[in-house]
């Protein structure tokens, strides 16, 4: 039976209530936070394990690469098996690996558990595909933006909380708190995801065929590929700026503490408030036009990082601008393919997220390595070039659209 026939024969999927949408956003927040606890405390972790600024960048870089690999191998299962069961399984695995990070006594073990945790972090990317099948098309941007706001909330809690907890109790306490949050999420997740009704699934395909189909679908969906490259570059800049900023602000030249770096992350509140509204706006004007506007505004913010980046108060201005519109680039990118046939959305999401986290890995390495070699000036030049690339690719995607 063809996929279109399967879709026609399947019962109409159940819709999400507002409470369920919010519960899923909170779940996404808790699970996403794991990759970002290290950002404000990266200097303390490096000192604890006696490694340099360039070498400590391996930890978030391998986490991002493992996440991309895990998404490649595990996320396609969402088009075949229950999203609810997969989310519960992999969130439980994350909880165990977070415990390993809290207990690790060597840099090698800490890096290993961080990498394994990244490999099983697929719940934040299963959930948007799950939700997209249960909302009206005219609300796709709004709900996708709400879940993206959950991602931002997780990043905010991770950075703000990590900086405060590490300043008071040491960096290892951060990971004990993270373990407690993950244990709670594991227990509550079955209540957050309602039982799924029958949906179009690739049940007849073997696992190998399912993985192969990811590449075929990616080649056939040019919009998704372009959106993935744009978001990969966007996420590379996002990761690089926060890692480099933590090293910059806590350097002997400026002398701020990790609690200050963590507090600065509170600027992400603007993203939580603005992203759902910008998602509704993107529903109105279209994702490609909205993405161009967001990319241009973000470039203006990034260009201010060097002149305003020498004081914790002035650096708020470029961070405010980039946090205001940066997540909208991701939301609009997802909108270009999450409106397609439900049976292929998880596999399209797979390709998109892999491209995104390959960019994140690049940003993790570049953010610390470029700062180590060229300081804040070199880092800001790199970030400006990345942001300009996002603008140019967004324009190309708009012009390339028939």
Residue 204 located in a structural domain? no
Q: Give the whole-angstrom CA distance, residue 28 versus residue 116.
A: 19
Q: Give the whole-angstrom CA distance, residue 133 versus residue 236.
A: 29
**pLDDT (average), residues 347-368:** 83
pLDDT at 144: 74
pLDDT beyond 70 at 11: no
Q: Give the whole-angstrom CA distance, residue 397 versus residue 174.
A: 41
End-to-end CA distance of the chain: 30
**Of 174, 393, 208, which Cα lies nearest the Cα of 299?**
393
pLDDT beyond 90 at 60: no
pLDDT tens per residue, range 107-138: 999 999 999 999 999 888 888 777 777 776 66
**pLDDT (average), residues 90-98:** 93
Residue 110 located in a structural domain? yes
Quote the mean pLDDT of the chain: 81
- The SS3 call for residue 151 is helix
Residue 383 located in a structural domain? yes
| Two tokens, residue 130 | 């799950």
Q: Give the whole-angstrom CA distance, residue 139 versus residue 18.
A: 12
| Two tokens, residue 173 | 């306490």
Other beta carbons within 10 angstroms of residue 10's beta carbon come to 15
Confidence (pTM): 0.70
Element (H, E) at 250: none
Residue 276 located in a structural domain? yes
Residue 205 located in a structural domain? no
Q: Give the whole-angstrom CA distance, residue 132 versus residue 334.
A: 10
Residues contacting 98, CB < 8 A, separation 6+: 34, 113, 117, 175, 178, 179, 182
Residue 159 located in a structural domain? yes
pLDDT at 262: 67
The alpha helices in 193-286, defined as continuous H runs, are 207-220, 222-249, 258-264, 269-285
**pLDDT (average), residues 206-212:** 78
**pLDDT (average), residues 175-184:** 92
**pLDDT (average), residues 265-291:** 80
pLDDT beyond 80 at 182: yes
Q: How many CA atoms lie within 13 A of 303 on its CB side?
A: 7
pLDDT beyond 80 at 192: no
| Two tokens, residue 310 | 């020498």
> Residue 336's pLDDT band (boundaries 50, 70, 90)?
confident
| Two tokens, residue 293 | 């506007």
User: DSSP state, 201?
Assistant: -
pLDDT at 110: 93
pLDDT at 205: 64
Residue 121 located in a structural domain? yes
Indicate which CATH number applies to the domain containing 121. 1.20.1250.20
Domain that holds residue 393: 17-188+212-400
pLDDT at 198: 47
- The SS3 call for residue 10 is coil
**Higher model confidence: residue 103 or residue 55?**
103
Q: Give the whole-angstrom CA distance, residue 23 versus residue 161.
A: 21
Cβ atoms of 310 and 254 closer than 8 Å:
yes
Q: How many domains does the chain have?
A: 1
| Two tokens, residue 200 | 């179009």
Burial code (b: 16+ CB inside 10 Å, e: under 16) for 15-42 equals: ebeeebbebbbebbbbbbbbbbbbbbbb
| Two tokens, residue 299 | 């470039």
**Higher model confidence: residue 195 or residue 357?**
357
pLDDT tens per residue, range 360-393: 878 878 888 888 888 889 999 999 999 999 999 9
The alpha helices in 133-221, defined as continuous H runs, are 140-169, 171-192, 207-220
Residue 104 located in a structural domain? yes
């Amino acid at each position: 039976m063809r996929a279109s026939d399967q879709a026609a024969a399947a019962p109409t999927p159940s819709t999400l209530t507002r409470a369920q949408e919010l519960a899923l956003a909170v779940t996404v927040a808790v699970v996403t936070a794991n990759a970002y606890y290290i950002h404000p405390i990266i200097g303390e972790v490096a000192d604890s394990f006696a490694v340099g600024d360039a070498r400590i960048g391996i930890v978030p870089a391998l986490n991002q690469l493992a996440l991309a690999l895990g998404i490649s191998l595990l996320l396609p299962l969402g088009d075949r098996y229950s999203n609810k069961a997969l989310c519960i399984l992999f969130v439980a695995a994350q909880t165990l690996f977070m415990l390993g990070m809290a207990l690790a006594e060597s840099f090698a073990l800490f890096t290993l558990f961080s990498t394994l945790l990244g490999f099983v972090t697929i719940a934040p990317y299963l959930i948007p595909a799950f939700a997209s099948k249960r909302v009206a098309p005219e609300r796709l941007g709004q709900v996708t933006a709400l879940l993206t706001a959950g991602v931002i909330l997780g990043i905010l809690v991770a950075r703000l909380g990590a900086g405060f907890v590490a300043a008071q109790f040491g960096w290892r306490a951060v990971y004990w708190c993270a373990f407690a949050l993950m244990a709670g999420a594991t227990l509550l997740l079955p209540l957050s995801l309602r039982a799924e009704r029958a949906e179009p699934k690739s049940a007849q395909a073997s696992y190998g065929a399912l993985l192969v189909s990811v590449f075929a679908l990616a080649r056939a969906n040019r919009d998704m590929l372009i959106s993935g490259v744009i978001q990969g570059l966007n996420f590379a800049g996002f990761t690089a700026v926060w890692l480099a900023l933590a090293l910059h602000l806590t350097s002997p030249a400026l002398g701020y503490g990790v609690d200050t770096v963590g507090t600065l992350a509170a600027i992400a509140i603007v993203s939580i408030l603005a992203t759902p509204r910008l998602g509704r706006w993107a529903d109105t004007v279209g994702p490609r036009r909205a993405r161009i506007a967001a990319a241009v505004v973000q470039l203006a913010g990034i260009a201010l990082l060097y002149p305003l980046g020498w004081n914790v108060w002035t650096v708020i201005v470029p961070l405010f601008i980039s946090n205001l519109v940066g997540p909208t680039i991701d939301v609009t990118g997802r909108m270009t393919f999450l409106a397609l046939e439900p049976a292929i959305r998880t596999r399209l999401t797979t390709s998109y997220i892999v491209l995104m986290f390959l960019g994140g890995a690049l940003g993790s390495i570049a953010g610390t390595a470029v700062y180590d070699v060229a300081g804040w000036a070199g880092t800001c030049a790199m970030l400006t070039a990345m942001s300009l690339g996002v603008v140019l690719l967004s324009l190309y995607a708009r012009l390339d659209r028939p």
